[in-house]
Amino acid sequence: MRGSRDVRRPATLASLAAELGVSRTTVSNAYNRPDQLSAPLRARVLEAARRLGYPGPDPVARSLRTRRAGAVGLLLTEALSYAFRDPAATGFLEGLALACERAGSGLLLVPVSPELADVTAVHQAGVDGFVVYSVREDDPHFKAVLERPVPTVVCDQPLHVEGVDRVGIDDRAAMLDLARHLTGLGHRHIGVLCMRLGTGRYDGPADDARQNGATYPVQRNRLGGLRDGFAEAGIDWAGIPVHERFAHSVDAGQAAAAELLAAHPEITAIACTSDILALGALRHAAERGLAVPEDLTITGFDGVPEGLRSGLTTVRQPVLEKGRAAGELLLERGDRNRPRTVVLPTELIVGTTSAVPRSPERWFSGW
């Protein structure tokens, strides 16, 4: 029993201040407001804290006192690994992290499944505000975010949400440029691969009703840009096959391209609404022995590094700047009451995967 009486109690802010002969405010400033202390004094406080086993101010108590959590919440309606696997998401995350670093704020990922309606993770997130990364219009998690009394910034989608800041690009105009590129080359037999258009798992042809009912505005606008561009060249959108994939992966793009070309062998170009799907289409073309772009033109959207290395014709968007701008809008909001919208520029990158259509005699040879 004697040994238990010899156990030293953990140091507290008060005991550390008494040990050093300074005020408790001085100890607190060493952690929370280092600019208020001279470098030697702060170093002395931190060294004494290490020696006495003082872990620093209780973050929970501090958040209760200041009414700030010191973190930004990133709502991501995908599995957590998506943020580190998808190149566009990774670039956005890096930009957001840079903004948080600059502001001295933490970053909390709040990943939730698009197929589940449980919003507990949103309600329990200890954050000072949310950045919402590209969710559908009727997403229940986004609705839960709007119920929280904290500022919110949306990246890409949904659109036109009252009182909410937004960062994005003009997806329709960007895809219009790409459509004009394809029709300018002479393509008239074109197929489209698109990302998911709504809730629920679906893989296959997307008819007009499904396209018009899309709850993901980004996909709706990218398809709209293609529709506008093809119409300028006299191409009836009703004759354009659109194949949708729920999963956003190279494998999904490969399977979709195989399905599309099997049903429509006359196609001379595949326009994809993301580079990831386009990389899958390139893989299928190689597997089938189709030369790109001699036999088949393939285009993407996003400008991800792997696509650019592959020479993909695509639309490059500034994903890192998207993240940085979203973070700055949230963290530098101050007392601003009116929402802001930041529209970033895009660039059409003409690579080596697009060319004039193959000659008619090559249409069915080797397919």
Specify whether 40 is located in the same domain as 96: no
Specify whether 243 is located in the same domain as 332: no
Q: Which of 215, 217, 191, 216 is nearest to 205 (CA)?
A: 191
The residue written with tokens 């000659």 in the block is 359
Q: What is the pLDDT of residue 192?
A: 98
Q: What is the pLDDT of residue 68?
A: 64
Task: Give a yes or no: residue 367 inside a domain.
Answer: no
Specify whether 198 is located in the same domain as 221: yes
Specify whether 12 is located in the same domain as 160: no
Task: Give a yes or no: residue 64 inside a domain.
Answer: no
Q: What is the pLDDT of residue 360?
A: 57
Q: What is the pLDDT of residue 58?
A: 56
Specify whether 355 is located in the same domain as 212: yes
Q: What is the pLDDT of residue 10?
A: 67
* Number of domains present in the structure of the chain: 3
**What is the CATH number for 27?**
1.10.260.40
Task: Give a yes or no: residue 210 inside a domain.
Answer: yes
Please state, as a whole number, how many other Cβ atoms lie within 10 Å of the Cβ of residue 281.
Answer: 30
Beta strands 314-316 and 204-205: pairing type? unpaired
**What is the CATH number for 218?**
3.40.50.2300
Task: Give a yes or no: residue 219 inside a domain.
Answer: yes
Specify whether 77 is located in the same domain as 140: yes
Task: Give a yes or no: residue 84 inside a domain.
Answer: yes
Q: What is the pLDDT of residue 63?
A: 47
Q: What is the pLDDT of residue 367?
A: 44
Q: What is the pLDDT of residue 66?
A: 45
174 with 315: CB under 8 angstroms?
Answer: yes
User: What residue numbers bound the domain in which 323 lies?
Assistant: 71-169+319-336
Distance CA 318, CA 344 (A): 7
Specify whether 165 is located in the same domain as 86: yes
Specify whether 248 is located in the same domain as 356: yes
Residues 148-175, buried b or exposed e (16+ Cβ, 10 A)?
A: eeebbbbbbbbeebeebbbbbbebbebb
Specify whether 185 is located in the same domain as 300: yes
Task: For the chain, report the end-to-end CA distance as a whole number of angstroms.
Answer: 86
Specify whether 143 is located in the same domain as 236: no
- Write the DSSP assignment of 320-350 as a string of letters: HHHHHHHHHHHHT-TT--S--EEE---EEE-
The residue written with tokens 């200890």 in the block is 126
Q: What is the pLDDT of residue 76?
A: 86
Specify whether 33 is located in the same domain as 112: no
Task: Give a yes or no: residue 329 inside a domain.
Answer: yes
Specify whether 177 is located in the same domain as 305: yes
Could you state, in chain order, the average pLDDT of each consecutive group of 10 residues for the chain (367 residues)? 48 85 86 80 86 68 55 86 87 95 92 77 88 90 89 92 93 98 98 93 95 93 98 97 96 98 97 98 97 97 96 97 96 84 97 89 47
Total residue count of the chain as it appears in this document:
367
Task: Give a yes or no: residue 261 inside a domain.
Answer: yes
Task: Give a yes or no: residue 65 inside a domain.
Answer: no
Q: Which of 90, 111, 108 is nearest to 100 (CA)?
A: 108
Distance CA 56, CA 12 (A): 8
Q: Report the interhelical angle of 275-288 vs 87-103 (nearest 10°).
A: 150
